[in-house]
A and B are shown apart, each in its own frame.
Chain A
Amino acid sequence: DGGITQSPKYLFRKEGQNVTLSCEQNLNHDAMYWYRQDPGQGLRLIYYSQIVNDFQKGDIAEGYSVSREKKESFPLTVTSAQKNPTAFYLCASSIDQGKAFFGQGTRLTVV
């Protein structure tokens, strides 16, 4: 099946822990993105990458980190510096200047 796979679907984090969310795509897309969605809100851009080994901060990058070592993978780490990490996290990919396709999301809860 072609598409974008995010894992896990649900994730629970203790205060002070770092956690990593996985995003893998087999669409051969160059660009990948991470968004955060809070209840009843739109999506806010965390980080994006237009090419392997390069990425840029979005509007709410503080407390998050990413890597882009492979074209098909763009993992997001939520660090302990992120003070309010409970949210729905969505990963997307696209060709340059093309339609973006989203994964099914990861719901992160701090316990």
Chain B
Amino acid sequence: GIQVEQSPPDLILQEGANSTLRCNFSDSVNNLQWFHQNPWGQLINLFYIPSGTKQNGRLSATTVATERYSLLYISSSQTTDSGVYFCAVGPNNDMRFGAGTRLTVKP
């Protein structure tokens, strides 16, 4: 099956810093999504981005499907950005998740 690798596994930032999270995948996909899991376990969908670039406020994402990777950018990080960020990919609707990047933003 498709393999999903996320890096770095852990990231600690000071409030206001910028960061880039990476997702590599092993096969071509038609479905790629980024999620944020808060400390209570709730998963929030950040982007549906099988290709191209999207922006939503301080967050943006780019997927280069031909090179099988996606990047999530967080600018001017806030303490509320803390949590685990997951990339999920799939040929269709059935997505497989990476192990996540645990982000801690310190005040």
Contact = CB atoms under 8 A, between A and B. Distances in A.
Contacts, number: 56
B30 interface: yes
A102 to B, nearest CB: 4
Contacts of B96: 45, 59
Interface in B4-31: 4, 30-31
B41 interface: yes
Interface residues of B, number: 23
A98 B92 CA distance: 10
Contact of A42 (B1, B93, B94, B100): B100
Interface of A: 31, 33, 35, 37, 41-45, 48, 50, 56, 58-59, 88, 90, 92, 94, 96-102, 104-105
Given A45-B96, A88-B41, 18 more contacts: A31-B93, A37-B41, A41-B99, A42-B86, A45-B94, A45-B95, A48-B94, A56-B94, A59-B1, A59-B96, A97-B30, A97-B92, A99-B45, A100-B93, A100-B95, A101-B45, A102-B45, A104-B41
